[in-house]
Amino acid sequence: ELILMPALVARLRAQAPGIRLRMTPFGNDLAETGVISGTTAMVLGRIVDPPDNLVVQHLMDDGLACVVRRNHPDVDRAISREQYESLKHVNVLPPGRIRAGVFQALGKQNLKRDVAVSVTHFLAVPEMIAVTDYCATLPILICRGLERDPRLKVLPAPVDLGTFPVELGWHVRYRDDPAHRWLRAAVIDTARSISESSGV
């Protein structure tokens, strides 16, 4: 999201300067997004159990990585399972389903986290990590954006936490709408470019 949305906006600004976008958080309740009724053009994220009137297209798979401050006293170029479990963690409580995905991934590997603080948006994480010895476990695509912050370093998770899908969903009534098809193609192509350049 942190990489995909800015890249998409830049692309749309270049191709359709007059376009107006409204982006809202994708919560657990698809009905609240307006995509089921068709009042919202599309939804982007992890779509679980979509209703029959929603068309879902897989965009890419993402994984999880760890972020700590660059001069962390205990973590160098890798983080061990023991280090991970002994550190304090920043937990992100986004409105979407990534939260459940992180907990499930950690649970499958029986990996424990000592959560010191929870924040409601990924944008709060860099500031929290930069001034503490905490660790955050985030989607790799978000970590790719955080790698540009000289205060932080991104490391592979200590164990394989698997992958999760990033999907695009829209109401079936928009299937053949020319403008909607154009917008979907722009989203899909942007996601593909980011996925290829990030190696996700």
Q: What's the pLDDT band for 103 if we cut at 50, 70, 90?
A: confident
Query: What is the mean pLDDT of the segment spanning 111-118?
Result: 93
Cβ within 8 Å of residue 144, ≥6 positions away = 3, 154, 198, 200
6, 37, 57, 137, 197 from 98: Cα distances, Å: 19, 24, 18, 11, 22
pLDDT given for residue 48 in this prediction: 79
pTM score, whole prediction: 0.78
DSSP-assigned letter for residue 122: G
Do the beta carbons of residue 21 and residue 12 sit within 8 Å? yes
pLDDT given for residue 180 in this prediction: 93
| Number of other residues whose CB lies within 10 A of the CB of residue 23 | 10
Average pLDDT of the residues of the chain: 86
Return the bridge partners of 114, or none: 88
Query: What is the mean pLDDT of the segment spanning 102-125?
Result: 87
pLDDT tens-digit profile of 140-159? 888 988 999 999 999 999 99
CA nearest neighbour of 65 among 154, 163, 162: 154
Query: What is the mean pLDDT of the segment spanning 116-127?
Result: 89
CA nearest neighbour of 58 among 182, 163, 146: 163
Q: How far apart are CA 169 and CA 46, in angstroms?
A: 9
Q: Which of 24-38, 53-67, 145-159 has the lowest mean pLDDT?
A: 24-38
